[in-house]
């Protein structure tokens, strides 16, 4: 039998899990203090829901669950490979939340300020070194069309990162509506804009030439591609420069508001920046998009945006919605590298007992010691000095004994 976890998935050692539990508790405490409420949804979703969810490239990365029993038999007999699966592992927490809101909205407040922190799955190629199972920490506001919702999500997410010791980060913000207006003015057809945006989002990675080449490959109109390439090479990426190419300068009002209010809220604790090339990969974003970048990591540590049409796909009635997701794996990876120490944990004590001890008495003594320590009961080794060394290496601060009242502090000689 194979001892390693599946490719792209991870076993977490105790010290990694302890860090993650602490970080998650700190993030949750920030979210809860801001009046957000946690929910959860199943990891599996109906496969048709996932397929229709505007998830962009992620739709190609869905792990599908084989049908069972008679349904599998008929699917096999039909010879149609697309009918073999009926459920899929979610690739993010936004589609499940939209379905959840549609199903449960009668029991939920308006606006609904919601927390999700849970596992998601993407069948990335293992050689890319990307995880196939990872945790996202999301907050979303449903039922509020005001740009104050964006300002609040940015504030709360940034405070969560500050609380766990992140500093020096910047929140990049854009509005897809402005970008789309500019692109339409340049001559791209409305039904090609999603595709143009997905290429444009790669500006940081592939440069202006790469964007032009990718758009040309997609057989988009040459004059429009040339016009965008000209803009990209021009170098003035200010909001006013972009707004002036939109036809309607008032389109930038919401973004101007979010930038200036967020700047005031940030009050110098972190950066707020307009980023005209920002699109974020998901196809479902309809307006504002944002991400958090920090010097310690090359990609974004958080990303989000407004997705006003997603709930409507379920109930035929538009519900404004906006969300911000912390990439939990990235954040924990950075903190582990930095040697983050969990504050305020109780000291760990090993209560050692000899073979002739009354084990019920040992457990009772352990329970009394738990007022001041996390107490593990362990058989006492013959070579006590060696056992102290092993305990110290394993992170114990003290040892006590079932048969006397000594408490030995470990590691004091160092």
**Quick check: 44 binds a copy of itself (CB under 8 A)?**
yes
Give the residue with the Cβ less far from a copy of itself, 210 or 389: 389
Give the residue with the Cβ less far from a copy of itself, 251 or 261: 261
The DSSP code sequence of 204-264 is: HHHHHHHHHHHHHHTT--HHHHHHHHHHHHH----HHHHHHTSS-GGGGHHHHHHHHHHHH
Contact by Cβ (8 Å): 270, 170: yes
Binding mask 275-314 for a copy of itself (x = CB under 8 A): --------------------------------------xx
**Dist. CA 146–CA 168, nearest whole Å:** 28
Residues 257-276 that bind a copy of itself (CB under 8 A): 261, 264-265
**Quick check: 2 binds a copy of itself (CB under 8 A)?**
yes
**Quick check: 21 binds a copy of itself (CB under 8 A)?**
yes
Could you say which of 192, 309, 318, 376 contacts a copy of itself (CB under 8 A)?
376
**Dist. CA 177–CA 252, nearest whole Å:** 9
**Dist. CA 243–CA 274, nearest whole Å:** 12
Give the residue with the Cβ less far from a copy of itself, 19 or 203: 19
Residues 136-195 that bind a copy of itself (CB under 8 A): 146, 148, 151-152, 155, 159
**Quick check: 39 binds a copy of itself (CB under 8 A)?**
yes
User: Which listed range, 63-71, 212-220, 224-232, 290-298, lies at the site for a copy of itself (CB under 8 A)?
Assistant: 63-71
Kindly report the CA angle at 344 between 409 and 293, in degrees rounded to 5?
A: 130
Could you say which of 189, 206, 342, 364 contacts a copy of itself (CB under 8 A)?
364
Residues 85-114 that bind a copy of itself (CB under 8 A): 85, 87, 89, 99-100, 102-104, 107-109, 111, 113-114
For residue 278, give the nearest of 249, 248, 242 by alpha carbon.
242
Which residue matches tokens 């999500």?
Answer: 153
**Quick check: 394 binds a copy of itself (CB under 8 A)?**
yes
**Dist. CA 282–CA 310, nearest whole Å:** 12
Identify whether 181 is preceded by a cis peptide bond (ω within 30 of 0). no
What SS3 state is found at 141? Answer: strand
Could you say which of 14, 129, 343, 385 contacts a copy of itself (CB under 8 A)?
14
**Quick check: 63 binds a copy of itself (CB under 8 A)?**
yes
For 340, left (φ over 0), alpha (ψ -120 to 50), or beta? Answer: beta
Give the residue with the Cβ less far from a copy of itself, 39 or 211: 39
Smallest separation, CB 313 to a copy of itself (Å) = 5
């Amino acid at each position: 039998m194979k001892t390693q976890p599946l490719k792209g998935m991870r076993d977490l050692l105790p010290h990694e899990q302890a860090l993650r539990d602490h970080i998650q508790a700190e993030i949750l405490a920030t979210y809860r203090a801001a009046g957000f409420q946690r929910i959860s949804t199943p990891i599996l979703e109906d496969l048709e829901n996932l397929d229709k969810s505007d998830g962009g490239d992620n739709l190609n990365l869905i792990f599908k669950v084989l049908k069972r029993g008679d349904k599998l038999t008929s699917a096999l007999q039909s010879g149609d490979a697309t009918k073999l699966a009926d459920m899929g592992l979610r690739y993010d927490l936004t589609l499940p939340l939209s379905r959840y809101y549609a199903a449960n909205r009668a029991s939920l407040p308006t606006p609904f300020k919601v927390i999700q922190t849970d596992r998601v799955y993407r069948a990335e190629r293992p050689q890319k070194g990307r995880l196939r199972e990872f945790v996202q920490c999301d907050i979303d506001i449903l039922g509020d069309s005001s740009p104050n919702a964006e300002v609040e999500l940015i504030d709360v997410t940034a405070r969560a990162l500050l609380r766990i010791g992140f500093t020096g980060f910047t929140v990049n913000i854009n509005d897809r509506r402005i970008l789309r207006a500019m692109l339409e003015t340049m001559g791209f057809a409305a039904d090609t804009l999603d595709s143009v945006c997905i290429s444009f989002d790669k500006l940081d990675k592939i440069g202006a030439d790469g964007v032009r080449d990718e758009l040309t490959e997609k057989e988009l109109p040459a004059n429009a591609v040339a016009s965008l390439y000209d803009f990209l090479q021009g170098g003035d990426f200010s909001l006013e420069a972009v707004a002036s190419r939109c036809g309607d300068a008032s389109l930038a009002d919401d973004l101007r508001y979010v930038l200036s209010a967020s700047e005031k809220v940030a009050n110098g604790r972190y950066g707020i920046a307009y980023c005209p090339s920002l699109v974020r990969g998901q196809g479902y974003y309809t307006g504002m998009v944002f991400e958090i970048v920090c010097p310690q990591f090359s990609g974004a540590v958080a990303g989000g945006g407004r997705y006003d049409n997603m709930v409507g796909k379920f109930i035929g009635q538009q519900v404004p919605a906006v969300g911000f997701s912390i990439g939990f794996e990235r954040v924990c990876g950075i903190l582990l590298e930095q040697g983050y120490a969990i504050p305020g944990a109780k000291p760990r004590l090993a209560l050692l007992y000899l073979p002739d001890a009354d084990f019920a008495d040992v457990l009772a003594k352990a329970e009394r010691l738990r007022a001041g320590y996390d107490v593990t009961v362990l058989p006492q080794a013959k070579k006590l000095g060696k056992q102290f060394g092993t305990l110290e290496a394993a992170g114990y601060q003290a040892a006590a004994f079932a048969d006397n009242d000594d408490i030995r502090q470990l590691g004091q000689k160092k």
